[in-house]
Amino acid sequence: MLAFGASAASAQISNDVVRIGVLADMSGIYSDLSGKGAVEAVKMAAEDFGGTVLGKKIDVVFADHLNKADVGAAKAREWFDTGGVDLINDLANSGVARAVAAVAKEKKRHIVVNGASNMGITNELCSPYAIHYAYDAYSLAHGTGKAVVEQGGKTWFFLTVDFAFGIGQEEQVSKVVRANGGRVAGAARHPLATTDFSSYVLQAQASKAEIIGIASTGADAVNAIRAAAEFGATKNQKLAALLLWIEDVHALGLPAAQGLLLTNAWYWDMNDETRAFAKRFFERVGKMPNMAQAADYSSTMFYLNAVKAAGTDEPDAVSKKMREMTVSDMFTKQGTVRADGRFVHDMYLWQVKTPAESKAPWDYLKLAATIPAEQAFQPLSDSKCELVKK
Amino acid sequence: MDIFGIPHQALLGQVMLGLVNGAFYAVLSLGLAIIFGLLRIVNFAHGAFFMLGAFVAFLIGRYFGIGYWPAMIMGPLVVGLLGILFERFALRRLYKLDPLYGLFLTFGLVLVLEGGFRVAMGSSGHPFATPDSLRGVVNLGFMVLPVYRAFVILVAVVVCAGTWIIIEKTRMGAYLRAATERPDLTQAFGINVPILLTLTYGAGVALAGFAGVLAAPIQHVNPSMGSDLVIIVFAIVVIGGLGSVLGSALTGLGLGVIEGLAKVYYSEASSTVVFLVMALVLLLRPSGLFGREEN
């Protein structure tokens, strides 16, 4: 009792350091989307916060999860058990994010998911310590998917990457399609990091579906879109890319990407604040930040502010604070965390510019629609999270 | 007409695509087979040289405005020269050791090259335009085939046939075959075997670089484009029979087709079907379909 009282009074910060671990794809297919950019974004937040919180140093560490769920989970365990890590951020790759969410729940430590879409984070895997911050499969489906169905795309065929992310994405969009009177003609599942999509595109053509839904991202989506154009699928069918990043548009080039719709939570060229952040980021990383990297920055700031407000880094106290506070920064003007851990904010539907519209390098997107926060995410009443009072 | 529940038109389309992929497999496994045949080196760096070929085409286009056709010559040339330097200054030192060392060295080279390119060029890759004269599609009735893919099959067949003729029908090829069988005896006849080895390695990886240039307009140019391919190509060389040039080329085409069929009937297995065939072949015919029994 005495020992407890003494420690609570003197040491509000565990190990005398607030340590943030960036668990990212540093070397694989998603390393442009997460990787070094994610690490730098978190470091920028720590620096902008002043380098210390409650008089203790803020330390940023990072590791490569190799896109393997077991590697990610093992690293998270090590960081929580012996590394003194208080928060794990980024977590690109849905398989990894799911595994680490389970570890966080067990260890009662914080994670923020910015680079993965899987709905499990705010449903069956939810905990007071996990926040799903930037986007998720529901918000992407209800952005791009819904917009395309409303424009008349009623029959869909999916090219789906064969793991948690792609399958979850296909599921969500299929729901939207059916709810709007559409039909799913079929799906072809391909392995992660497929280079040749020609045979999948042929199957999509044979299905005669109006829309080819691309339930993959990064290099997979880029290759799928290129193959669809090459085989003339885009003459009779339309493409709907369900998660396209600014880097993917960059890799495709505007001639191939123009006109595509995509749902992103953030774009570097939205206002003066986003442009200022992007400029600083560009100087450090050599490319423009994407929505996950902007969210890495924003969520790290949010966590540090919550630690400061709580006066401690004790996970339960910080969790409580994070669910009371509102975020207003360059990422979002009005963001709040719900009981299921979903960080709710406006999402945006973008259209890729034509080469003529693009005035400068990385000038790629124009706003097509704003999806208000209350419509952008799965209704709380539908959440399977045990923390949601029904 | 349906074949096992798949319309025959779709099936023909997939066979056609299988041939295109098989064409890449054939050119890549050809180089691998030649290198193994003569140097007894399991050249794990083959995929990295493939990637280098594509990047050479991309970079000379970006910085010097050099187009696709000159790149088809310059790509293999640059890659071949790099291969020669690598053989001359690194690989050569390992010939007297267990073949495993060569495997480790070439594997290390893959990691260095891929990592280096990922840092310098990013992981998202870069677009590479199809040359204007090969744009467009031909309608084959059962499918729409991009002209460029038809071109790939044609070029691959020519390259494979040309290589086979050089090895089987020319004096140079005779030296090569002799050096493969009995390097000591060939040397005794006054033929410079070390130079032969260097040139063979250079030519083998130049073929990989050539395939890389061919692939650039199809796959986008990115650092990992070779590593996904090389494992499959290894399996093909094993199935064809290690060191068998003709076997590798034919097996490459054949397995491309089998893979294409797997994509229609059970797509999830498409990435493993090649290894299934490999396991079967190793069980029933350990020296490969076209390989000779060795003592």
Three-state SS string over B249-279 comes to HHHHHHHHHHHHHHHHHCHHHCCCHHHHHHH
Give me the helices (H) in A82-152, please. Answer: 94-107, 137-140, 146-150
Confidence tier at B16 by pLDDT (50, 70, 90):
confident
Q: Tell me which residues of chain B, numbers 178 to 197, contact chain A at a CB-CB cutoff of 8 Å.
A: none
State whether residue A253 sits within 8 Å of chain B by CB: yes
3-state SS, residue A383: coil
Return the pLDDT at B294: 54
- Domains with residue ranges and CATH for chain B: 12-121+137-284 (1.10.3470)
The domain A138-268+347-376 is placed in CATH, from the list 3.40.50.720, 3.40.50.2300, 3.40.50.450, 3.40.630.30, at 3.40.50.2300
State whether residue B227 sits within 8 Å of chain A by CB: no
ipTM of this complex prediction, to 2 decimal places: 0.72
Return the pLDDT at B218: 85
CATH architecture, domain A2-135+271-345: 3-Layer(aba) Sandwich (3.40)
Choose the closest CB to B124 out of A32, A198, A200. A32
Structural contact between residues A98 and A125, judged by C-beta atoms closer than 8 angstroms = yes
> What is the overall mean pLDDT for chain A?
92
Return the pLDDT at B193: 86
What is the spatial distance between Cα A186 and Cα A184, in angstroms, rounded to a whole number? 6
Q: Give helix then strand counts, H and E, for chain B.
A: 11, 4
Return the pLDDT at A356: 95
What is the spatial distance between Cα B218 and Cα B223, in angstroms, rounded to a whole number? 15
B229 to chain A: closest CA residue? A195
- Reported residue count of chain A is 390
Instruction: Please answer yes or no on whether B125 and A222 come within 8 Å at the CB atom.
Output: yes
What is the spatial distance between Cα A145 and Cα A168, in angstroms, rounded to a whole number? 13
B226 to chain A: closest CA residue? A195
Return the pLDDT at B118: 87
Return the pLDDT at A73: 97
Return the DSSP state at B101: H
Structural contact between residues A238 and A228, judged by C-beta atoms closer than 8 angstroms = no
pLDDT at A289 over 80: yes
Return the pLDDT at B291: 75
As a whole number, mean pLDDT of residues B93-121 equals 89
pLDDT at B295 over 50: no
Return the pLDDT at A196: 82
Give tens-digit pLDDT for A219-258: 899 989 988 988 888 888 989 999 999 999 998 889 888 8
Give tens-digit pLDDT for A20-44: 999 999 988 888 899 999 999 999 9
Residue % of chain B over a pLDDT of 70:
96
How far is the first Cα of chain A from the last one, in angstroms, to the nearest whole number?
37
What is the spatial distance between Cα A109 and Cα A128, in angstroms, rounded to a whole number? 9
Give tens-digit pLDDT for B254-268: 999 898 888 878 877
Task: Report the sign of the C-alpha dihedral through residues B151, B156, B157, B159, in that order.
Answer: positive
State whether residue A157 sits within 8 Å of chain B by CB: no
Token representation of residue B290:
């076209």
As a whole number, mean pLDDT of residues B115-142 equals 85
pLDDT at B39 over 70: yes
Instruction: Please answer yes or no on whether A226 and B271 come within 8 Å at the CB atom.
Output: no
pLDDT at A9 over 70: no
Confidence tier at A7 by pLDDT (50, 70, 90):
very low
Q: Tell me which residues of chain B, numbers 2 to 41, contact chain A at a CB-CB cutoff of 8 Å.
A: 7, 9-10, 13-14, 17-18, 20-21
Return the pLDDT at A128: 97
| Alpha-carbon Rg for chain B in angstroms | 19
> Where, residue-wise, is CATH 3.40.50.2300 in chain A?
2-135+271-345, 138-268+347-376
pLDDT at B115 over 70: yes
